[in-house]
Structures are given as C-alpha cells and as structure tokens.
Amino acid sequence: MRDKPCTVAGSDLRLCCLPVDVLTYPDVVVFCEPIRYLDGTDDTLTDAVLIVEVLSKSTRNYDRGEKFRFYRTLPSFSEYLLLAQDEIRAEHHVRRSDGSWIFREWTAKEAVIHLNSIGCRLVLGDLYLKTRLGRLTQQSESDTALQ
C-alpha cells in the first residue's frame, strides 16, 4: 500500500453506509482517494474499496448477511474478505463489472488470495502466523517432520 493512493485502517474508523443509514466498525477497511468522509467528520467514512471482517460465532451470520448487504451499497466497494477465527479459512467476495458478486473460499494455508482492487496478494497462512491457529499448524508440521 506504500505506493498506492489508498489507506488501511483498523476498527477505530467508522463506516457509514449512507443509502441504508447504517454505521459499522469494520475490522479492517481500505479506502482510496478521493477519501469520502461523512460531512463535518474525519472519523466516519462513506466509502471503501476493500473490507475485511474476522468472523466470530456471535457476528458471523450478520457479517455474511445483512452487513454484507449494507456494504454493497457503497459506490467503490469491490472486495469483501472474511477470515475465520476458529480455523484457517477465508471467504472472498469480488464484485464483477456487471455488479454481480463471485465467491471463493480457501482453507489451504498456501493459498494465495489476490486482492485486485488494491493490487495486493496475501498468503492465507501468513494471516494466521502469530495466532493460536498459526502456532498449532506450525507445531503439527514440526511433529510430522520428526516422525
């Protein structure tokens, strides 16, 4: 993102989906120039290109359903990445030029996820490296190598 006209922010930046008058706090949001803030604020965006949510048992249905529907009202929104909290898994939604959405899911830690909206690629396992799941995977691989 260093050489791009986009910014990454965490869950302390609010996002307003104006057409449905809903405020959310995405886990990660990427927004690009021109930056669109709610009138008179610098802490509430009204558009985003990429949104990442970490799924928990209490929010996963909302994140996949109604919240995703709200996000789809954003003019520049083109990618939605959902990361599982209890297993290594990613769900990736990409808006096509005709406005429809395609869905892909990855569970292999070697999987490469291309975030074309921001010209970035992620290795799924790298997203979990410093988490409990990442440590468990590394331990399991070490145990297998010793056998």
User: For the domain that residue 49 is a member of, what is the CATH number?
Assistant: 3.90.1570.10
List the one residue out of 28, 2, 30 whose CA is nearest residue 116.
30
Residue 73 within any structural domain of the chain: yes
Residue 60 parent element (H or E): helix 60-64
- Judge whether 101 and 117 are in contact, CB under 8 Å: no
Structure tokens at 96: 């096509």
Say if strands 14-17 and 44-45 run parallel, antiparallel, or are unpaired.
parallel
pLDDT confidence tier of residue 146, bands split at 50, 70 and 90:
very low
Which residue range(s) make up the domain with 109? 6-146
pLDDT averaged over every residue in the chain: 91
- When pLDDT is averaged across residues 37-41 and rounded to a whole number, the result is 90
Residue 132 within any structural domain of the chain: yes
